[in-house]
Amino acid sequence: MAQRMSRREFLRITGMAAGAITLAACGAPKAAEAPATSAPAGAGELTGTLRVSAQSWIIKKWPVEEVAKKFMEDHQGVTVEVSPAPSKGEGESYLVQWSQGRTNVDVALGGSKSDVAAYVGQDLLVEFGDDFFTGDFARDQFIEAFLKEGEFEGGKQYAVPLLGEVMYTTVRRDWYEEAGLLDADGKPIPPKDWDQWKEYAKTLTIPGERSGLAISWGTNFMWQQYLTGLVVSKGSIYESEGSTMVDFSSEYAEALLQFWQDIVAAGYAPTGTFTDQNANRNDFKSGLIASMITAHARWPEAEQVLEEDGADRVTAMPILEGASTLAYAHTIYIPKVSPVPDLAKAFIKEQLFSLYGQQWSANNFGKLPTLKRNYAGLDAPEYQDILAAAAKGVHEPNYKDQAELNKVLQVELEKCITGAQTPKETLANLRDAASKLDLSLV
């Protein structure tokens, strides 16, 4: 087998990896009544102050402050202020401010569809209409599954995607090679079905030393894992064609839960994420796990730790051979109370959708560009397969009672995974719970 160049070495040689930037800590400004609206000073000239708020992990993994400086350089009449968004339960929430006609932010970065749905439900967000999706930013220029994350009832777009994720498998290439699970090109061979995955997990497990497969079953991923299992095995997450109800009854759903239960009972998979959401990612980097099914970005994250000596130990693999997967995005949205929505939209198009910003995040942290053209130049071989998965990826639904459904799902699936109840019993309990919730789409 020809010697492969690690992704870290590839980026170093080609100069694609950007140097780390130091981010100055800054507190969120006090919410205030919206100032007077700024207007362009002349043809093509923007002015005013734009307040950008981003979740703290995004400030770390996306060059928000750097592109803010670039926007100010390009538009001398503009000031951009970047601040971390308040964590849940801390500070004054967007919902409180915006519902009272106040804001300390003009464009917000980060949040799942369910997070954004709370603002949409109270009519607090600016719609991205057809006038936004023109030219280089036409809808067909985006990865569809990522764009769908900001689409709500009636096809209205209240958020646009900053960065994307797909559910994928991160694997130890060296251990797959030892087990004879690489093809002639040195790529891991995806299992064909859950039975073959069980054999992989058995082969890769060394009792008392490492687990063959870990699946993120924490509260932050259980819903996505269940949907992903349906997507990769049956090609859909719904109970039937045309339905908007997630499948809690088919043979595919039962086979998925039986697979989960079996690999835990056999000692091939850990359940640490029940109590520690980061258990799998930490154990993988510590050499305690050979494969993990989770967000694809865990692959480059693990490379930073396991390939410091230049060895090529980590790669990414589809969950099942030839299958699609679940795709989702972290989005951008603008409150209606912002006095500068046009300035916010210009910043989004010029900087947040820029080749530089989206590829910086991809090269350093594996976060996926959301515009198709921004994949040009991402030459790490894994990206070819990941892009293909994203292009045909399925996006998750969001129900009115999604939070309640997630709670029930976590409890019932943990019981099933640990063998406290059968897959059939689990699915029956989920159907019963779902029948009592409002699962109309938002």
Nearest of 434, 367, 282 to residue 55 by alpha carbon: 367
pLDDT value for 213: 98
Report the range of poorest mean pLDDT among 33-37, 239-243, 300-304: 33-37
In tens, the pLDDT along 44-69 reads 689 999 999 999 999 999 999 999 99
Q: How far apart, in whole angstroms, are the C-alpha atoms of residue 347 and residue 331?
A: 14
Band (344; pLDDT cuts 50, 70, 90): very high
Provide the CA 425 distance to its chain's centre, in angstroms: 31
Nearest Cα residue to 306 out of 2, 4, 7, 3? 7
What is the chain's length?
A: 442
Phi, psi (rounded to 5 degrees) for 387 = -60, -40
**To the nearest whole number, what is the mean pLDDT of the chain?**
88
d(CA 273, CA 250): 26
What CATH fold (topology level) applies to the domain 41-164+328-390?
A: D-Maltodextrin-Binding Protein; domain 2 (3.40.190)
Cβ neighbour number for residue 190 with a 10 Å cutoff: 21
CA–CA separation, 293 and 161 (whole Å): 23
What's residue 381's pLDDT? 79
Same fold across 41-164+328-390 and 166-327+397-435: yes
pLDDT tens-digit map of 280-291:
999 999 999 999
Cα–Cα distance for residue pair 114/99, rounded to 1 Å: 18
Q: Are 340 and 106 in contact (CB under 8 A)?
A: yes
Q: How confident is the model at residue 90, as a pLDDT?
A: 53
Region 354-375: mean pLDDT is 93
User: Is the pLDDT assigned to residue 10 strictly greater than 70?
Assistant: no
Contacts of 62 by beta carbon, 8 Å cutoff, 6+ apart:
54, 109, 162, 163, 357, 360, 361, 367
Pairing of strands 151-152, 291-295: unpaired
CATH number of 166-327+397-435: 3.40.190.10
The sign of the dihedral angle between the CA atoms of 166, 168, 173, 175 is positive
Distance (Å, rounded) from C-alpha 341 to C-alpha 140? 23
DSSP 49-91: EEEEEE-HHHHHHS-HHHHHHHHHHH-TEEEEEEEEPPPTTSS
Position 2 scores a pLDDT of: 38
Domain ranges of the chain: 41-164+328-390, 166-327+397-435
Q: What sign results for the dihedral spanned by CA atoms 271, 275, 281, 282?
A: negative
Cβ neighbours around 251 below 10 Å, total: 10
Element (H, E) at 183: none
Tell me: pLDDT of 207 over 50: yes
37: DSSP letter: P
Express as a percent the part of the chain with pLDDT over 90.
Answer: 74
What average pLDDT does the segment 295-313 reach? 88
DSSP string, 411-424: HHHHHHHTTSS-HH
User: pTM of the prediction?
Assistant: 0.82
31 has a pLDDT exceeding 90 = no
The pLDDT score that the predictor gives to residue 38 is: 39
Are the C-beta atoms of 50 and 106 separated by less than 8 Å?
A: yes
Within its chain, how far is the Cα of 380 from the centroid? 19
Nearest to residue 260, comparing CAs of 416, 405, 406, 410? Answer: 416
Dist CA 112 CA 401 (whole Å): 15
